[in-house]
Amino acid sequence: MKIAITVMLLFPLLQTDNDVSAQDTSVASERYEERADHDPNGIGKFYMGREIAHVMGYLGAPWLERDTREEEERLTLLVKSLKLKPGDIVADIGAGSGVISVLMAEQVLPNGYVIGVDVQDEMLLRLQDNARQKGVTNIVPIKGSQKAPSLAPRSIDLAIMVDVYHEFEFPYEMMMEISKAMKPGGRIVLVEYRMEDPTVPIKLVHKMSQKQAKAEVEQTGFNMEWTETIDVLPRQHILVFTKQNEPNSAP
């Protein structure tokens, strides 16, 4: 299945920023605080007490593809820990150049696919090139926005964000839209550098604690519940949240 064909087939499953309701936006606007005194590696915008980090630009793609990344982050083990199944529909949100999308794509064959979501055209082009070079045909590149990942309701079995969530400029809006895109029983996975471990060699605003992640993702309205934390990686948590059935709705 070619990428272009897959995109056409998926067209009914996609949505736009217009699906972010005015009510959602109004509630979210009250959750952010701007501070002049802040970490220079952050954007000065705070959400639930946490400063949001600067986004990695497309010029950082070689760092995502560095030869030492497997040793440092154990990406193969990360993907194995997700226990993906053939036929799963997976959203790699903040997919970048597609390193992890490619690793997951084989696991969901023959009928599953990975939607690689990113806000940067340059990253999506690089993702397509990398998939083509590796002969991977079940990755669909989709351009999202700062407030929505362009995914249709109840369309996704698993959404994963690897070292991405802490960079969302609008985490409330994004999580609201991601939660809407999850099938009942679907999983949202945050992979974040451990705040609890001072020896993890990365800047402070690029770390997250389990406590902070749970507080943000388990908010009323998202209908997500923490399921487990998988601690098999050298430097990161794998935090798993499961979509609960909506009140008064069938599975």
The residue that leads in pLDDT, 179 or 57, is 179
pLDDT at 28: 54
Residue 164 has pLDDT above 70, yes or no: yes
pLDDT for 192 equals 98
- The reported pLDDT for the residue numbered 56 is 86
pTM: 0.87
pLDDT in tens, 193-216: 999 999 999 999 999 999 999 999
Position 27 confidence tier, pLDDT thresholds 50, 70, 90? low
Integer Cα distance of 64 and 195 in angstroms: 21
Taking 50 as the threshold, does the pLDDT of residue 19 lie above it?
no
For residue 247, whether the previous peptide bond is cis, meaning omega lies within 30 degrees of 0, is no
Q: Tell me which residue of 157, 160, 147, 214 sits closest to 182, measured CA to CA.
A: 157
Domains of the chain, with CATH numbers? 3-243 (3.40.50.150)
DSSP-derived secondary structure for 13-27: G---GGGS-HHHHHH
Average pLDDT rounded to a whole number, residues 72-84? 96
